[in-house]
Structure 1
Amino acid sequence: MVDATRSSLRKQSRLPLSLKVKYTLRARLERGEWPVGTRIPTLEQLMQAYGVSRATMRAALDELEREGLIERTRGKGTFVIGDVAQEHWLALPTCWDELLAYLGRLNTVTVELGSGKGRVPADIAGAAVPDTYWWTMRVNHADGLAYSMSTVYVLDAVAWRLQPDLCQGPVLLALDRLARDQIHAASQTLTVRVADADLARHLNMDIGMPVVRLLRTVRNQQGQIVYAAQVYYPAQYLSITTELSPSSTV
Structure 2
Amino acid sequence: MSMTWDMNDLDQGPLPLWFQIADRLRAAIERGEFRPGDALPSEARLNERFGVSRTTARASLDRLEQEGLISRRSGKGSIVLTSRVEQPLNLLSSFSEDMLRRGLQPSYVTRSADYALPTAEVAEALGIDRKTRAFRIDRLLKADGWPIGMSESWISPAVLNSHTPSSRDLDVVSLYTWLERNHGARIAGGQELIEAATATRKLAESLDIAVGAPLLVARRRSHAADGAPIEYAVMHYRADRYRFRVDLVRQ
Query: Shared fold (TM-score greater than 0.5)?
Result: yes
Cross-structure match for 1:35: 27
Instruction: State the shift of 1:169 in Å.
Output: 1.9
**Alignment of 1:57 onto 2:56:** yes
1:91 maps to which of 59, 62, 86: 86
Looking at structure 1, the residues matched to 232 and 175 of structure 2 have their Cα atoms a distance apart, in angstroms, of: 10
Instruction: State the shift of 1:206 in Å.
Output: 1.0
**In 2, are the aligned partners of 1:134 and 1:156 still within 8 Å (CA)?**
yes
**Alignment of 1:244 onto 2:237:** no
Looking at structure 1, the residues matched to 185 and 233 of structure 2 have their Cα atoms a distance apart, in angstroms, of: 19
Gaps of 5+ in 2: 1-15, 32-45, 72-77
Cross-structure match for 1:152: 153
Looking at structure 2, the residues matched to 228 and 196 of structure 1 have their Cα atoms a distance apart, in angstroms, of: 21
Identify the structure with bigger relative contact order (alpha carbons < 8 Å, sequence gap 6+): 2
Looking at structure 2, the residues matched to 221 and 65 of structure 1 have their Cα atoms a distance apart, in angstroms, of: 44
Instruction: State the shift of 1:177 in Å.
Output: 4.5
**Alignment of 1:137 onto 2:146:** no
What is the TM-score normalised by the length of structure 1?
0.61
**In 1, are the aligned partners of 2:94 and 2:176 still within 8 Å (CA)?**
no
The residue matched to 1:35 in structure 2 has which SS? Answer: helix
**In 2, are the aligned partners of 1:195 and 1:206 still within 8 Å (CA)?**
yes
Cross-structure match for 2:39: none
Identity %: 17
Looking at structure 2, the residues matched to 184 and 244 of structure 1 have their Cα atoms a distance apart, in angstroms, of: 22
Encode CA deviations 1:20-65: one digit per residue, 9 max, x unaligned: xx9xx69x75xx9952279xxx87xx9x9xxxxx564354356579
**In proportion to residue count, which structure has more helix?**
1
Looking at structure 1, the residues matched to 63 and 225 of structure 2 have their Cα atoms a distance apart, in angstroms, of: 51
Looking at structure 1, the residues matched to 99 and 183 of structure 2 have their Cα atoms a distance apart, in angstroms, of: 17
Letter of the structure 2 residue corresponding to residue 143 of structure 1: D
**In 1, are the aligned partners of 2:192 and 2:219 still within 8 Å (CA)?**
yes
Question: Do the aligned partners of residues 55 and 98 (structure 1) sit closer, same or farther apart at CA in structure 2, a change above 3 Å counting?
Answer: closer
Instruction: State the shift of 1:178 in Å.
Output: 4.5
Looking at structure 1, the residues matched to 216 and 190 of structure 2 have their Cα atoms a distance apart, in angstroms, of: 19
Question: Do the aligned partners of residues 35 and 221 (structure 1) sit closer, same or farther apart at CA in structure 2, a change above 3 Å counting?
Answer: closer
Letter of the structure 2 residue corresponding to residue 215 of structure 1: R
Instruction: State the shift of 1:181 in Å.
Output: 5.1
Looking at structure 1, the residues matched to 124 and 193 of structure 2 have their Cα atoms a distance apart, in angstroms, of: 11
Cross-structure match for 2:177: 173
Instruction: State the shift of 1:115 in Å.
Output: 2.2
Looking at structure 2, the residues matched to 100 and 144 of structure 1 have their Cα atoms a distance apart, in angstroms, of: 13
Cross-structure match for 1:73: none
Looking at structure 2, the residues matched to 156 and 193 of structure 1 have their Cα atoms a distance apart, in angstroms, of: 30
**In 2, are the aligned partners of 1:151 and 1:231 still within 8 Å (CA)?**
yes
Looking at structure 1, the residues matched to 149 and 202 of structure 2 have their Cα atoms a distance apart, in angstroms, of: 12
The residue matched to 1:198 in structure 2 has which SS? Answer: helix
1:200 maps to which of 196, 201, 204: 204
Letter of the structure 2 residue corresponding to residue 135 of structure 1: R
Quick check: 145-154 or 122-131, which moved more? 122-131
Looking at structure 1, the residues matched to 92 and 230 of structure 2 have their Cα atoms a distance apart, in angstroms, of: 16
CA RMSD of aligned residues (A): 4.5
Cross-structure match for 1:120: 118
Question: Do the aligned partners of residues 179 and 100 (structure 1) sit closer, same or farther apart at CA in structure 2, a change above 3 Å counting?
Answer: farther
Cross-structure match for 2:8: none
Looking at structure 1, the residues matched to 150 and 156 of structure 2 have their Cα atoms a distance apart, in angstroms, of: 20
Gaps of 5+ in 1: 1-5, 7-21, 49-53, 71-80
Letter of the structure 2 residue corresponding to residue 57 of structure 1: T
Question: Do the aligned partners of residues 65 and 191 (structure 1) sit closer, same or farther apart at CA in structure 2, a change above 3 Å counting?
Answer: closer
Question: Do the aligned partners of residues 93 and 173 (structure 1) sit closer, same or farther apart at CA in structure 2, a change above 3 Å counting?
Answer: farther
